[in-house]
A and B are shown apart, each in its own frame.
Chain A
Amino acid sequence: MLEKITIPLEALNLPTLIPMLIAVAGGLTILVVDLFKKDLDKSLYIVLSILFLTMDLGAVFDLELNQRGFFNVMLIDGIAVISQIVMIIASGLFILFAFSSQRFHEYRYPEFFALFLFMTAGFQFMVASDNLILIFVGLETASLSLYTMMVLHNKDKSFEAAIKYFTMGAMAAGFYAFSAMVFYGLTGSVELYKIFEVLHMRGFEPMILVLVASIAMLVSFGFKLAVVPFHTWGPDVYEGSSAALAGYISVVPKVAGFVVVIRIFEGLINLGIDWIEYILYGIVVLTMTLANIWALVQNDVKRMLAYSSISHAGFVMAAIMIGTTQANSGIFLYWILFAFTNLGAFAMLWVSHKRDAKYHERFDHPFEKFSGMVRLMPVGAVMMGLFMITLAGVPPFSIFWGKVYLISSAVNAGYIVLAIIMVLNSAIAAYYYLKLVVHMFLKEPITGRDGSVYMANASTSLKVVLGIAAFFTIASIFFVSPILDFTSFYMAMSGF
């Protein structure tokens, strides 16, 4: 006879769960609305998604810092709160992409928006925990929703991309489970703080098993974050999915991945395991350099942006490896600035998306499509040019400040060689961003074309998103310092 266990409701500390519950409730609401009334217009679902994301954001702001809940599984520390804020704001801006003037297959289904909210909840669970089980469940909830959303685009290429992403994701899940199993076997716990405690107490013996577990974890998140040499799916997935979803994939899932990597690997590095630092160093250098070199030879703007976001992820991984407080606050500064610029770049691709228009036998957005754009549509060309030189890191636009901050943190922590590699890579990157600028400003337009091509998919909401992105990019010089105070405050609160 088992003893009856009673748990008081207060002990569960349910308020820690409210943000995720709002997102899940939003997804269910959308499904129920569809159940009662079919064929409603997509704008209702978009507005519902934005409404629930806003409530979600409010609930996140309302959280008290440094508390645990739900049998100590939930952990609300500074990094959990700030990453949720970044992810929800980015998600809210990317769902506005659905207000396109052309009709697309995926937006006809309310399931798309329900999956979107479930995915947000999954990412939130992933960042708001230091329990390996909950991180795994959140990761898989989000990834499985993402594969399905990609397939809803209903093109041959998107099926191919989704199958590739799915296969890599399943393999990453296997590695994650294996790594978690080894950590559990070594320490008898699946909670990160307890794992570090036991490992430290025992002086990391047996070293070989700690090595195996860490490498498996690194492989798993290497696939999720698309760092070299695990990046192979990345460009294909960007090419296969719509520009709207590709922009989303380049920003939000990576925030969640970075948070888990920060929690696990900074913990291990801080405990003084040197070889993890060496492995990360190698991965960072490879990711930044090789991704840049591959980006040079791309003929498609979307594929080029895919390699560029891999390279930007390499920059952030460098900050994770450095691991000082300055570098850690730089991570979120860099990623917020990058998110807004990338939002603008993908929004430009998205407004120029025209169904059934052929520019190239394979690509939707070849460089030639933008030839002479400045003659046909000066405002659009200037905007696209702005986002490109921002991504290249030209002062005084946003990403420049992120780069300066990360490089200075590398110098302050004594990684002089790494700082030089980062600077050189910024210089290489400028070449392929400027390639598009050259196409837009210096080449002759393809004859018989007018400016409407570049705004085929535009609507007022999309123009607003473009305006927000452009404003944020230009005026970032005034925002950098408040954002930095904000990120430093939250990072300091969680002890990173």
Chain B
Amino acid sequence: MITLEDYIVLATLLFMIGLYGVIVRTNLLMLFFATEIMLNSVNIALVAISNYYEDLTGQMFAFFIIAIAASEVAIGLGLLILWYKRHGNIDLNTLKSMKG
């Protein structure tokens, strides 16, 4: 029997994986994947909680998060392509003309 706790634990683990990815990845594309993992892990938990309370709000929230994640990726990929056209790579370590 899969209980609510299992879903929440799964979602938290996925969130941690996403957060780890955001922190350690230097490839921009991989970094965007990691942020997607963060948002989608929350979706799993929201739907599970929504089912537990028998309340549709959580599923609605999940749909909004899916839409927001999609538009975020659209902007992110646009930025990535711009950077690639100018510099020929998508390495985060090349973004260091400004510091201090």
Contacts and interface: CB of A to CB of B under 8 A. Distances in A.
Interface in A177-197: 177-178, 180-181, 184-185, 188-190
Given A140-B72, A171-B38, A174-B18, A239 B98 contact: yes
Contacts of B72: 140, 144, 170, 173
A181 B38 contact: no
| Chain B, interface SS category | helix
Given A161-B98, A236-B99, A240-B98, A181 B11 contact: yes
A109 to B, nearest CB: 14
Contacts of B79: 147, 151, 159, 162-163, 166
A281 B47 CA distance: 35
A362 interface: yes
Contacts of B99: 236
Interface string B61-74: 10011001001100
Contacts of B75: 144, 147-148, 166
A136 interface: yes
Given A140-B72, A160-B97, A167-B31, A190 B42 contact: no
Interface string A150-165: 0100001101111110
A236 B83 CA distance: 16
A194 to B, nearest CB: 11
Nearest to B38: A174
A362 B42 CA distance: 41
Contact of B100 (A161, A178, A189, A298): A298
A312 interface: no
Contact of A184 (B49, B82, B100): B49
Contacts of A185: 8, 45, 49
Contact of A166 (B19, B76, B97, B100): B76
B86 A178 contact: no
Interface residues of B, number: 41
Contacts of A181: 11, 42, 45-46, 49, 61
Contacts of B11: 181
B40 to A, nearest CB: 9
B82 to A, nearest CB: 6
Given A137-B64, A148-B75, A160-B95, A173 B100 contact: no
B39 interface: yes
| Chain A, interface SS category | helix
Contact of B38 (A178, A235, A236): A178
B71 A174 contact: no
B42 A178 contact: yes
A303 B100 contact: yes
Given A166-B76, A177-B39, A178-B15, A184 B68 contact: no
Q: How large is the interface on A (under 10, 10 to 19, 20 to 34, 35 or more residues)?
A: 35 or more
B49 A163 contact: no
A400 B53 CA distance: 52
Interface in B1-59: 8, 11, 15, 18-19, 22, 28, 31-32, 35, 38-39, 41-42, 45-46, 49, 53, 55, 57-58
Contacts of B61: 132-133, 180-181, 184, 190
Nearest to A171: B22
Nearest to B65: A177
Contacts of A174: 15, 18-19, 22, 35, 38-39, 42
Contacts of B57: 133, 184, 189-190
Given A137-B64, A151-B82, A239-B98, 7 more contacts: A133-B60, A136-B65, A136-B68, A161-B98, A167-B22, A174-B19, A174-B35
Shortest Cβ-Cβ A-B pairs, 9 listed: A174-B38, A170-B35, A177-B42, A236-B98, A185-B49, A188-B53, A140-B68, A181-B42, A160-B95
